[in-house]
Amino acid sequence: MSAGGLEPSLYINRELSWIAFNERVLAQALDERTPLLEQAKFSAIFSNNLDEFFMVRVASLKSQVEAGITKRSVDGLSPREQLEAIQERLRPVLQRQQDHYRQRLKVQLAERGVHLLDHHHLNDAQRLWVHEHFQTAIFPVLTPLAVDPAHPFPFVSNLSLNVAASIRDPETGQQQFARLKVPQKTLGRFVSIPIELSDTPDGATYTAVPLEQVVAFNLESLFPGMTIEGHYFFRVTRDADLELRDLEADDLMLALQEGLRKRRIGGEVVRLEVADEMPEEVVQVLMDGMAVEAADLYRVDGPLGLDDLFALTGLPLADASDDPHSGRTHPRLARAQRSMLEDGSIKTEEFESIFSVIRRGDVLLHHPYDLFATSVEEFINQAADDDSVLAIKMTLYRTSRDSPIIAALIRAAENGKQVMALVELKARFDEDNNIQWARHLERSGVHVVYGVIGLKTHTKVVLVVRRERGHLRSYVHIGTGNYNSKTSRLYTDLGLLSARPELGQDLVELFNYLTGFSRQQNFRRLLVAPVTLRKGMEALIQREIRHAREGRGGHIRAKMNSLVDPKIVSLLYEASQAGVRIELVIRGMCCLRPGLENISETISVVSIIGRFLEHSRLFWFANAGDPELFMGSADWMPRNLDRRVEAVVPIDEPQLREELEQLLELYLTDDTGAWDMASDGSFSLRRPAKGTGQRSQLQLIDRWHGGFVQTPS
């Protein structure tokens, strides 16, 4: 039996489910309906996702195998069996990506005047220009490294693109091996060639050649007097997961800095990608030099590292990208936007404090349709400058490098307010950024803490304490997404601005839990992990089971990033067998099998993939005609329920609850960007009838007017 109390066959492997999600991302690139540069973007996202998957998930499984761990996953697979299944599943998917790049993307870009040329396709004028560019702009930064008895095999850094050169000394006849790192991270992956050198300059808008080919076809400059017998490209992915003990804050900072130094170099190799034409003897040199196992070798029929396709997305091609989307200021906040006069003062005409707006009723935000800058950032900015505000407390999990929120917190501290920022140093792949912000904030007088030992603080909350008429009033923001200006334009997230006293008191006690020695076990309205969230969610599901068994019907709708937790999956199966209708919108991993006879017949799972990354979490329970709806930062995963600090808030105002119910309905009826999950874990894209089609994200762009979905007339 599994951890959820059911047979392993009733669960889908989480790693294979993640690969299925990334396949849906790639499908956006392969879909002919996707604009051309958006195809390049989604292909790049697919590759970037896969890099992180290998650096963390595959690396973890390999570590388990090396440690002799044979414990099986909830679906019954050992670590070694999971690695084998991953490799088998990935290889044909990677070939589809390469086929798309070579046979469709490059061809259709060329038809639009964007020529991504291989070096051997350059004309004489272009070849001469490229050679001269190599000598002046590339050659000085290259470092060839020989491999011979006097030079051991060089260290190859994580995610680096490299040239393996086979060289022969014409005097001795001795063959040698050398490696060059391609500096695409500093020089860019594509070398742009002047358009006037094209054979048809009038029809060209952009001509480029991959940097690695420029390096490879100029090797004679790096090895003068030697014969270049061959060159081959390879790329390395290393273990980049940081293993951190539960340390005190100072030790954690030091441990993270050391871990980040090691990550930049990389741990053991978990994937070696080589050009398909690389001879076996060269492959063997690489595998021996880096201790790579045969199962970790991936031959690639095409260019390596297609995450660099991001570089193409800024090309000025008409109708090749999604229409720009800027979002709107929430109508309730329209008069709460400060206008600066030339002398730096605030224009007070037609201005209303954001706090007075929130006092009149909760404000529901939906990003990116509601502007982050004129809502969340404005809330914190006004708090920083308002003389009546005494304290600001907030959590920072991921934030942008040029964050206006960080600037506001520093300004608030300079204005004499009590400012506390909980900076989560262990936010994966943002650790270095967060360390820098933590130090900057501390130097500016902000009190910085690092959360609860043993737990990652993932919740997204702000508490503002304001003196009003001799009393203190709390204002809160509780969201599903990070306080990050950049991702707020790319991710769909929800947020609640409220002055409800019970929510304010809950956040006061939550911050005491995060910064002190509180062992708070109950909250008034919030469900908080790891204290009350799991048992709260389980109780809500069990209530629907009781309603169904007692003839009152049962209905659950939930939207999240991932559904992995075995206990929740088991409970949903029980609910289905009791007759509860369960509709799930799961963007990523889903370990539940929907539609199984006598087990999950009433459960459906849909995944929405579109121009924005679906990131909001919603949980709706029918409750026999008196529905309850919650939103927050947690997925139904063991880490969110048991090993992180999370906060989920009930939406009490009927109008706001209705808006979110409409939102769930919109996702569930999407027939253009939605994928239906089958019981075997596969997904099929919904295809609308000709002339129809409802893509939820596009409908939200068209129909979202400052915070609520307008029902078409």
Domain that holds residue 600: 528-703
Span 571-595, average pLDDT: 98
Question: Are both 591 and 604 inside the same structural domain?
Answer: yes
Our count of domains for the chain comes to 3
DSSP per position, 476-531: EEEESS-S-TTGGGTEEEEEEEE--HHHHHHHHHHHHHHHS-------SS-EEETT
Listed residues 259, 280, 312: the one ending a domain: 312
Span 481-485, average pLDDT: 91
The pLDDT, as a whole number, for residue 587 is: 97
> With 50 as the cut, is the pLDDT of residue 711 above it?
no
Question: Are both 263 and 400 inside the same structural domain?
Answer: no
Span 291-322, pLDDT tens digits:
999 999 999 999 999 999 999 999 989 899 99
Span 411-445, pLDDT tens digits:
999 999 999 988 876 545 555 666 677 787 888 88
Contact status, residue 420 vs residue 409, Cβ threshold 8 Å? no
Question: Are both 247 and 355 inside the same structural domain?
Answer: no
Question: Are both 449 and 548 inside the same structural domain?
Answer: no
Question: Are both 348 and 298 inside the same structural domain?
Answer: no
The pLDDT, as a whole number, for residue 204 is: 85
CA–CA gap between residue 362 and residue 656 (Å, rounded):
8
CATH of the domain at 290: 3.30.1840.10
Asked whether residue 708 is assigned to any structural domain, the reply reads no
Percent of all residues in the chain with a pLDDT value above 90, rounded to a whole number:
74
Question: Are both 412 and 460 inside the same structural domain?
Answer: yes
- What confidence category does residue 346 fall into, taking pLDDT thresholds of 50, 70 and 90? low
> With 80 as the cut, is the pLDDT of residue 253 above it?
no
CA–CA gap between residue 91 and residue 47 (Å, rounded):
13
Of 140-144, 515-519, 538-542, where does the model show the most confidence? 538-542
What are the CA-CA distances from residue 143 to residues 174, 221, 231, 429 (Å)? Answer: 22, 12, 16, 28
- What confidence category does residue 326 fall into, taking pLDDT thresholds of 50, 70 and 90? confident
Higher pLDDT, 519 or 387: 387
Backbone angles phi, psi at 542, to 5 degrees: -65, -35
The pLDDT, as a whole number, for residue 2 is: 57
Please count the other Cβ atoms lying within 10 Å of the Cβ belonging to residue 443: 10
The pLDDT, as a whole number, for residue 175 is: 86
Question: Are both 512 and 548 inside the same structural domain?
Answer: no
CATH of the domain at 680: 3.30.870.10
Question: Are both 492 and 590 inside the same structural domain?
Answer: no
Question: Are both 432 and 386 inside the same structural domain?
Answer: yes
Question: Are both 305 and 410 inside the same structural domain?
Answer: no
Listed residues 493, 525, 557: the one ending a domain: 525
Asked whether residue 323 is assigned to any structural domain, the reply reads no
The pLDDT, as a whole number, for residue 351 is: 86
Span 25-35, pLDDT tens digits:
999 999 999 99
Q: What is the CA radius of gyration of the chain?
A: 28
- Which residues are the active-site residues? 458
Asked whether residue 2 is assigned to any structural domain, the reply reads no
The pLDDT, as a whole number, for residue 702 is: 85
Span 338-366, average pLDDT: 79
The pLDDT, as a whole number, for residue 276 is: 95
The pLDDT, as a whole number, for residue 244 is: 38
- What confidence category does residue 402 fall into, taking pLDDT thresholds of 50, 70 and 90? confident
> With 70 as the cut, is the pLDDT of residue 661 above it?
yes
Span 198-246, pLDDT tens digits:
988 778 899 999 999 999 999 999 999 989 999 999 999 999 864 433 3
The pLDDT, as a whole number, for residue 277 is: 94
Asked whether residue 167 is assigned to any structural domain, the reply reads yes
- Tell me the whole-structure pTM to 2 decimals: 0.91
